[in-house]
Amino acid sequence: MKRLIMTAIILGTSHGYAQTTNLTFQWHGQTMGLAFEATNLTASVKQAIRDDIAYSMSLIPVTNAVFEVYPPNHPDSAQHTGFARFSSARINYCEGVLFFYKTIGTNICWQIDTDTSTEYLAAIAITNQHAKAVAAFTNYFNQFTGGKIDTSKMTLAQKKALIWNPPLLQKLEDNYGDQLDEMLSGVVPAEPAPPGACPFPPIIAFRIRTDLPADLKPPLLWCEVKYWAEGVYGGPMTFLFCYVNGKWRFSPAGP
C-alpha cells in the first residue's frame, strides 16, 4: 500500500478519547488525526490503525463525505463535534470504523471507540499470524483483477480448485451436469478490472469468519474485497476470497 505523507500536530484531550501526537494523516489535502477510547493500545498498534484508516480514506473522494455538526445544546456536543456519513462512496471500508469526530482548529480528529479498536486488534493479530497467506494474497489478487487466470487449458478439477464454495459447486454440478466445465470457465474474471474499480484491500478486510455455515469451514482465513461494478446492475459490491490448503480461492456468490 502506498504510504501517505504524515503531518504531526498537537491534539488536545477530550472526554475519554486519548489524543496523542503523530497519529495524523492527509486526506486529499486535509489533515486528520485519531483519538482512541481504548487504553490498552500500544503506539505501534495505534500507528498501524492510523495507516490502515489513512489508506481506506484515500479511496473515498471528498465529495462523498458529509460532516454533520451537533448544535450547541446537543447532549453529545461536549464530547463530539458531530458525525460523518460517507454517501454513495464507491469503495468504502470506513463504514462502522469512522463515525464521530471532533474539530481541533481546522483539523478533523476521528474518535475511535473501543469496539473499533478491538476489531482492529483482531485484524492485526490475524494478519501477523497469517503473514505468509496475506503476502501471497498480493500476487493472487493481481492475477485475479488483472484477468490473468487462464481457465481455457484447465481441467474441470483444476477449475473447481479455483473456487471455494462447496454448496454452490454442488448445486451447479446438480443443475448443469456436463455443462459444469463451461459454466466454471465464466466464474473467474477473464478481463482486467477497470482502473480504480477494485483496489487492494486494507488489513481490516482480513478476518477469520465464524458466521458461515459449517460446510464453508468458518475457521478459514477470509478476505472481503470491496469493488465498484459498472453497468445497469452495478454499484458497490464485494468479492469474497478464502485461503484453503495453502492457496487463495475465489468464493463466488458468497454466503
Each residue's pLDDT tens digit, 147-198: 999 998 899 999 999 999 888 888 888 888 888 888 888 888 888 998 889 9
Other Cβ atoms within 10 Å of 162 Cβ, number? 18
pLDDT at residue 3 tops 60: no
Per DSSP, 184 falls in state: H
* Percent of the chain predicted with pLDDT > 70: 91
3-state SS class at 109: strand
- C-alpha R_g of the chain: 21
Digit-coded pLDDT (tens) for 99-133 = 999 998 889 999 999 999 999 999 999 999 999 99
| pLDDT attached to residue 42 | 95
Tell me the residue type at 211: D
